[in-house]
Amino acid sequence: MGWNSYNAFRDTVTDAQIREVADAIVSSGMKAAGYQYVIIDDGWEGERDSRGRLQPNSKFPDMKALADYVHSKGLKIGLWATPGPRACSPSYSGSYGHEKEDAEQWAEWGMDFIKFDWCSAGQIYSKEQQPLVYQKQAELLRATGRSMLFSICQYGDNKVYEWGAAAGGNMWRTTFDIRDTWASMSSVGFRQVELAQYAGPGHWNDPDMLEVGNGGMSNDEYITHFTLWAMAAAPLFAGNDVRRMSPATLDILLNREIIAIDQDPLGAAGRLLSRKDGLEIWTRNLTGGAFVVAFFNRTDAPTTMKVHWEKLKITGDYRVRDLWARENLAPASGLLQVNVPRHGVVALKLFK
């Protein structure tokens, strides 16, 4: 869990913004809720020094001092990079030909996370070489002696979910860049259920960072967004300007009951129970025998949804907790029935 600069700042991100974001993650309660990584995406890169190590540009006068500042807040810090010769923003440099030097530099700065984005690497390598390219970088990061979470970003191409873990990835993008629209988010999010078998402790499907709070969707749609990511056991990286959040945005990002689903130690991603006419029901098993049933309404009208015990393959009475209303409901037996708004969700935790 954490925050990434790209959705809010693109490649205009600065040292001052990162410091302010770190402050806001602490003061807003996000740190206490589990958000820990502050990721500087594309836009920090400058020129190489005499040792061949990529240095930051003028927007980041002292990367080590910035890392120390973020660490002083009890948070972790990470960087975006690419195995290609140029960044996605082509005015910036990539790591091609300097992979070892850059890994050593990141470790010396005190980085805790590296997002390795394919970008221009396709000019150098074939698609079939992707596993080896990422494995090489993972080995170079380990050789520094510093623990760094390794995020593979090649947009879900080449069945990365089948080889990402073996290549040293702790998480891998399963899709192209998300946008702050219902069409983009729902297209990305609802596909994740097809990849549930590949998620587990230490290696996660990554449907990209969150758009919650960026203004392009309704509150119900953002609630669906956050719930989908939690049900998919996806990394939760906020992508909004956390220095300026509405109460509604903060209420979503700080829902500890949904966060607990996402972060459940069992690490079992949600599975599709039913899908028909724009209505989907997902279930996710949790530690201790509890489970979640999420009713998603992808249609343009509110609707009533229900599921019978036989479909859930359970018997007897269950206590029920509404994770967005944050209230206990009457115990249920035999049937669950809920009213779901358009583009909305009702997420229920069932436990004995």
344 neighbors 224 (Cβ within 8 angstroms): yes
Q: Which of 348, 351, 350 is nearest to 227 (CA)?
A: 348
- The interaxial angle of helices 63-72 and 99-109, nearest 10 deg, is 40
317 is catalytic: no
Q: Which of 189, 210, 224, 233 is nearest to 5 (CA)?
A: 210
- The interaxial angle of helices 130-143 and 99-109, nearest 10 deg, is 40
Q: Which of 145, 136, 90, 146 is nearest to 116 (CA)?
A: 136
Q: Which two tokens stand for residue 237?
A: 């990286």
Catalytic residue chosen out of the listed positions 117, 180, 220, 264: 117
Query: At 159, is the secondary structure helix, strand, or coil?
Result: helix
Catalytic residue chosen out of the listed positions 157, 177, 251, 322: 177
62 is catalytic: no
**b/e per residue 3-36 (b: at least 16 CB within 10 A):** bbbbbbbebebbbebbbebbbbbeebebbebebb
Task: Show which residues are catalytic.
Answer: 117, 177
